[in-house]
Structure 1
Amino acid sequence: MKMTAEEVHDLIAGALCRSKTSEVNAASVADALVGAELAGQGGHGLRRVAAYCAQARSGKVDGFATAKGEKTRPGALAVDAANGFAYPALDLAVDWLPDAARSQGIAIAGIRRSHHCGVAGVPVERLAERGVIGLLVANSPGAMAPWGASRALFGTNPIAFAAPVEGGDAIVVDVSLSRVARGKIMAAAQKGEAIPEGWALDAEGRPTTDPKAALGGTMVPLGDAKGTALALMVELLCAGLTGANYAYEATSFFEAEGAPPGVGQTLIAIDPDAFGQNALARFAVMAEAVAGSEGARLPGRRRQEIRARSLRDGITVDDALAAEIRAIGQ
């Protein structure tokens, strides 16, 4: 079926409010999950609602938490997500960062005691829409082993970047450090579909096409050893730096039982005028060079096209999934 963005938002927020979550937090989560659907990333959208609601009902996530920020330096904000959903904490950081970056040239927000941050490209694109360069790194529960090892010390640990462009939409780079995002494997498991070989390994370290075996095993890193080196960098920036849990200390984003995941996110905002070199126009030059290269696509354009089309024509929603979400808490 087709649903408007507003209808999808109400569907998500209603399920959360029926699952021990405040209206304010439910709206923030719904904004983010609609943003995921509009970016074409359904594995971080509606398919997360059941798990989120189950965790809120069990108390693994505090649906009534209030994120709090403390300015520790003129350009640094420490944010405590208070074991609630990540999105209210991300909202707080995104609201604070642009003015701080313009004042200081660069500003950083570190979030601790957090949860799944969804599509990492969404908050950095919001920063770019407010005129600053955005960078986000986030960790997630253990899913990747150091290269050559078998213990999952690292999460899939997304890195996202967005830059405003003079006269055009932002450039948005959003990559998971596993070969594919774990949300795609979760979605395949929900649909009962096989996954391509090369995405994941089972608990014995063997390649698998069974999504359930993959969820019990480890992810194949993007770029092999290079991907795991970047995953280590992310762990240090968003957990070591902020006091959040490392991936191997964090509990599952999918299961309702257990302690809160307590993961972290770090966001950096940069004033493009910091060096006075007409950066936005320079960004446009490079964007045009990439877009004008035969066979190339500028990062961010696909999601922006999907968003425009979905806002115009509606978001495609699986009937059974919509019914499942409507039934939550009834």
Structure 2
Amino acid sequence: MTVLSVEELERLATEALRQAGAGAAQAVPTARALVQADLAGLPSHGVSRVPMYVAHLRHKRVDGNAQPTLAHRTPGTTLIDAQSGFAFPACAEAVEAAIASARECGIGAGVVTNSHHFGAAALHLDPVAQAGMIGIAMGNSPAAMPAWGGRTPLFGTNPIAAVFPRRDADALVIDLSLSEVARGKIMVAAKQGKPIPLGWALDAEGNPTTDAQAALHGAMLPAGGVKGAMLALLVEMLIVSLAGAHFGAEADSFFEDAGNRPRIGQLFLAFNPRGFAGDAVYHARLEALVAAMLSDSGTRLPGTRRVEAQARARQHGIEIPETLEKELRELANA
């Protein structure tokens, strides 16, 4: 392993994307978002994705010079078309619009269509928490899980995240994919030649497997069995019907260099407590629940590990495999 500063990692990631054809308006926010995932202790959604993004640029699966456009707006809702660019610039616009709507209406929704991989879902919600609002994020993704009882991948891992700001403490952050684990963890295991636990995935023949490579060509298993499968279905229907995006089964795998433009979607919701029972009630009830949780010895608040990881990384730098550093430098011509 090797340790790099946040600034150096952002520079390498940005330059790698630019060398592959992305303009600054796409490369800079995308690189920054990936590094933020590493900062938060989420390496499966961090700069380990840069080689994949570079391959997608080279194979025209993503438009590195796309400019997100406003497709539709009402007082409470906004639809942003990512124009087949990277997700991060379009998602930032959608989140900003959701916050603005929530200030006016109490609740706001920002939806993105014709999009790409949007990384760690919860990180998009930082501006919502900073605005003192509750945030929810979700997105669909290329087919990785079968419908309940089936074996052919149809839905994505379809992550859901939420953030609940606190007045004098770090926000509560909930972030989960609806598969047993995020597919990025299997990607990392495959790159490192490591096995995965039984129960994470099926191979292409529908058999349980511990082979990460076989899992990438098979199907993920839903978290919590039928309940996870139903939640994945919910996200799929909600995103696609509101955004007009591709179903997961219509988007080629992110883990293939060549393929179609995924054109998937994301949804962001912002709830302004002032539009409901008010800030004072929101904070009083939230802190009462937090106190009850912490009264039970051993309880860990959601988001705590992320805050601890960020503090360590800012002080000591970000640790990545030496092979990844070498690959990033080669892609960046650095």
Number of residue equivalences: 330
Q: Deviations over 1:292-324 (max 9, x none)?
A: 321211111111111111111111121111110
**Matched residue SS, 1:65:** coil
Which residue does the alignment assign to 1:72?
73
Cα deviation 1:90-120 (Å, max 9, x = unaligned): 1111222222101101010111100111000
Residue 135 of structure 2: aligned partner: 134
Is 1:266 aligned to 2:267, yes or no? yes
User: What is the SS of the residue equivalent to 2:127?
Assistant: helix
Pairwise CA distance, 1:46: 1.4
Name the counterpart of 1:20.
21
SS of residue in 2 equivalent to 1:111: strand
How far apart in 2 are the matches of 1:159 and 1:42? 18
Q: Which amino acid aligns with 1:186?
A: M
| Unmatched segments (≥5 aa) in structure 2 | none
Aligned to 1:290: 293
CA contact (8 A) 2:114 2:265 kept: yes
Q: Which residue of 2 aligns with 1:90?
A: 91
**Residue-by-residue CA offset, 1:130-184 (whole Å, 9 max, x unaligned):** 2111101101100111111112111000000001112111111001000000000
Contact 2:97/2:108 (CA < 8 Å) preserved in 1? no
> Are 1:310 and 2:308 matched, yes or no?
no
1:126 CA displacement: 2.9
Task: Kindly provide the amino acid, as one letter, of the partner of residue 188 in structure 1.
Answer: A
Corresponding residue for residue 304 of structure 2: 301
Contact kept in structure 1, 2:97 and 2:109, CA below 8 Å: no
Alpha-carbon shift at residue 12 of structure 1 (Å): 0.5
2:94–2:110: 8 Å Cα contact kept in structure 1? yes
**Pairing of 1:35-74 with structure 2 (within 5 A):** 35-74=36-75
Match of 1:319 in 2: 322
Give unpaired runs (5+ residues) of structure 1: none
**In structure 1, what is the equivalent of residue 236 of structure 2?**
235
> CA 1:247 to 1:152, structure 2 compared with 1: closer, same or farther past 3 Å?
same
> What's the counterpart of residue 11 of structure 1?
12
| Counterpart residue type for residue 331 of structure 2 | I
The root-mean-square deviation of aligned C-alpha atoms, in Å, is 1.2
Work out the CA distance in 1 between the residues paired with 2:274 and 2:45: 34
Report what 1:165 is aligned to.
Answer: 166
Counterpart of 1:99 in structure 2 is 100
Counterpart amino acid of residue 78 in structure 2: L
What secondary structure sits across from 2:153 in the alignment? coil
Contact 1:86 1:117 in 2 (8 A): yes
Letter matched to residue 218 of structure 2: G
CA contact (8 A) 2:161 2:175 kept: yes
Contact 1:125 1:170 in 2 (8 A): no
| Alignment check: 8 A CA contact 1:142 1:152 kept | yes
Question: Is 122-131 or 301-310 further displaced after alignment?
Answer: 122-131
User: What's the offset of the Cα at 1:325?
Assistant: 1.0
Per-residue CA shift, 1:216-269, capped at 9, x if unaligned?
111110010000100010001111221000111111112221210111101111
Distance 1:66 1:239 in 2: 21
Mapping 1:131-280, distance limit 5 Å: 131-277=132-278, 278=280, 279-280=282-283
User: Aligned partners of 2:27 and 2:137: how far apart in 1?
Assistant: 23
Task: Determine if contact 1:125/1:172 at 8 Å carries over to the other structure.
Answer: no
1:23 CA drift (Å): 1.1
Whether the aligned pair in 2 keeps the contact of 1:163 and 1:170 (CA below 8 Å) is yes
Q: Is the 2:15–2:332 Cα contact (8 Å) retained in structure 1? A: no
Verify the 8 A CA contact 2:13 2:332 in the aligned structure 1: no
Q: TM-score, normalised by structure 2?
A: 0.96
Mapped contact 2:82–2:114 kept (Cα < 8 A): yes
Q: Write the distance in 2 (CA, Å) between the matches of 1:319 and 1:251.
A: 30
The residue type paired with residue 323 of structure 1 is K
Q: CA separation in 1, counterparts of 2:284 and 2:251? A: 42
Q: For the residues of structure 2 that align with 1:21 and 1:235, how far apart are their CA atoms?
A: 29
Residue 67 of structure 1 contacts residue 80 of structure 1 at CA under 8 Å; is this kept in 2?
A: yes
The equivalent of 2:284 in structure 1 is 281
Look up the SS of the partner of 2:274 in the other structure.
coil
- The residue type paired with residue 327 of structure 1 is E
Structure 2 distance, partners of 1:292, 1:99, is 37
Q: Is the Cα–Cα contact under 8 Å of residues 129 and 170 in structure 1 kept in the other structure? A: no
2:273 counterpart letter in structure 1: P
Measured after TM superposition, the shift of residue 272 of structure 1 is 1.5
